[in-house]
Amino acid sequence: MIYLDNSSSTFQKPFCVKHSIKKTLNKYAANPGRSGHKLSLLAGEKVLEARMTLANHFGLKDFTNVIFTASCTEALNLALQGSVQPHGHIIATIYEHNSVLRTLEYLKKTYHITYTLVTPNANGIITPDRILSAKQPNTYLVVVNHTSNVTGHTQPIHEIGAVCHEHNLLFLVDTAQSGGHERLNMEKDHISMLAVAGHKGFHSIQCGALLIQDCKIKPLKYGGTGTNSISLTQPTDYPEGLESGTDSIVNIIALATGVKFVERKWNDIHQKITNLTQYTLTHLSKIPNCIVYSTNANSGVISFCIKGYTSTEIASYLNQKHIAVRSGLHCAPKIHEYLGTTKNGLVRVSLSYFTHKTDLMYLIHCLKTLSKKTLLFQKN
Ligand SMILES: Cc1ncc(COP(=O)(O)O)c(C=O)c1O
């Protein structure tokens, strides 16, 4: 199978990630931070090293503010629910994933917040002035999806962060798609909370993290911190106050290994993704009836449709040709409303460091053949 669904989860994992999983199971799989014996302490040390790796990668000074989560969705929920200010106002963008949008709806019903979804300019960019013009007297938080999982557009986080800092607004960045592809520095970019997905651009397994700078938020879960057992009150210190339950040590160490892999290969990854994305964009645009919605050659996210077919029909056809892509709305309904692609959805081809040019040559060949046929599937 040719795997071009890396924005969902990367499939091919580097040897170092696979090796770290095996090594953790064989050597460190005790319960970190619960007991005083050597193995528990060793496990705790490894989790601490992982926190340092993530903090260092994202320019966060205090590694105790790295909170491991099950997924990026959980990290975003923790950030949004944990920082809620009842009756306050949140600015987000039409690029947001449902992990943000549905949480905003929940906060609206439960805490009576209101929110504004900012639209991009003609180049797909959310400019700082667009954020500012949505500001209200009770605005307390700005949420931005760094790289869209639908179009691949990447937002100017540094500039938006500067505006948030100037106006004393919390700033939450969703790096699910940009992690491993674009570098951010929480301190320099004035990011208050940064949500990470381990299983996408970091080539690790299903795991996430929320990194927090200069703000205190409430937990999503209670108990199971392994500290101060006599107390019935949740600790407020980080990370334990926000990280209830036994840490998933295998996933956490694998995530840190993925981050180190990406750091070692940074230039190669960047070069390869840019070349392959550019190749795909160029060749897709030459296919008759194919409309391409992506322009960012650095993202590895390419969405398109072919007139006369739904995105699901195209994805099914490619599946028969042993090519894995994703179709539909990609859990981001508002950008589809904006683009007018809600009815048929879009086909998304997403690349990774392990994608080969020949995979994409074959994809283009298959799509050319499809675009020539007027009706592939019998429609009722
Ligand atoms: C932009 C964006 N945000 C959040 C998520 C949720 O990530 P996870 O699957 O780790 O929960 C995704 C997943 O595809 C995403 O693309």
The pLDDT value given to residue 375? 47
Q: Which two tokens stand for residue 366?
A: 């298959």
How far away, in angstroms, is 77 Cα from ligand 1 center?
Answer: 11
Asked if 119 and 338 touch (Cβ cutoff 8 Å), the reply is yes
Ligand 1 atom having least distance to the Cα of 75 = 11
The pLDDT value given to residue 334? 97
Asked if 262 and 201 touch (Cβ cutoff 8 Å), the reply is yes
Q: pTM for this structure?
A: 0.96
| C-alpha–C-alpha distance, residues 375 and 380, integer Å | 12
Residue showing tokens 């975003």: 76
- Best residue for ligand 1 mutational test, from 8, 10, 72 (most atoms within 8 Å of Cβ): 72
Peptide linkage before 156 cis (omega within 30 of 0) = no
Extended beta strands in the chain, E state? 2-3, 66-69, 89-93, 114-118, 139-145, 170-174, 193-197, 208-212, 290-292, 301-306, 323-324, 347-350
Query: Beta partners for 225?
Result: none
- Best residue for ligand 1 mutational test, from 94, 100, 331 (most atoms within 8 Å of Cβ): 331
Q: What is the pLDDT of residues 217-273, one digit of tens each?
A: 999 999 988 888 899 999 999 999 999 999 999 999 999 999 999 999 999 999 999
Task: Give me the half-sphere count of Cα atoms (radius 13 Å) on the Cβ side of residue 215.
Answer: 27
CA Rg, the chain, in Å? Answer: 21
Q: Is the CB of 149 under 6 A from ligand 1?
A: yes
| C-alpha–C-alpha distance, residues 189 and 120, integer Å | 20
The pLDDT value given to residue 373? 79
Q: Is the CB of 145 under 6 A from ligand 1?
A: yes
Q: What is the pLDDT of residues 99-128, one digit of tens each?
A: 999 999 999 999 999 999 999 999 999 999
Residue of the nearest CA to atom 12 in ligand 1?
176
Amino acid at 24: T
From the number of C-beta atoms within 10 Å of its C-beta (0-12, 13-18, 19+), residue 332 rates as buried
Closest residue by Cα to residue 197 from 219, 173, 216: 173
The pLDDT value given to residue 97? 98
The pLDDT value given to residue 296? 86
Q: Is the CB of 257 under 6 A from ligand 1?
A: no
Q: Is the CB of 326 under 6 A from ligand 1?
A: no
How far away, in angstroms, is 118 Cα from ligand 1 center?
Answer: 20
Write down all domains in the chain, each with its CATH number in brackets: 2-9+265-372 (3.90.1150.10), 15-264 (3.40.640.10)
Residue showing tokens 């298959």: 366
How far away, in angstroms, is 184 Cα from ligand 1 center?
Answer: 18
Closest residue by Cα to residue 72 from 206, 185, 262: 206
How far away, in angstroms, is 366 Cα from ligand 1 center?
Answer: 28
The pLDDT value given to residue 374? 55
Q: Is the CB of 277 under 6 A from ligand 1?
A: no
Residue of the nearest CA to atom 8 in ligand 1?
72
Sheet holding 208-212, edge to edge: 66-69, 208-212, 193-197, 170-174, 139-145, 89-93, 114-118
Q: Is the CB of 208 under 6 A from ligand 1?
A: yes
| Nearby residues of 372 by Cβ (< 8 Å), 6 or more positions away | 288
How far away, in angstroms, is 372 Cα from ligand 1 center?
Answer: 34
| C-alpha–C-alpha distance, residues 196 and 251, integer Å | 13
| C-alpha–C-alpha distance, residues 179 and 266, integer Å | 11
Residue of the nearest CA to atom 7 in ligand 1?
72
Residues of the chain with pLDDT under 50: 375-376, 378-380
| C-alpha–C-alpha distance, residues 58 and 204, integer Å | 17
Provide the b/e sequence for 172-185 (b: ≥16 CB within 10 Å): bbbbbbbbbbbebe
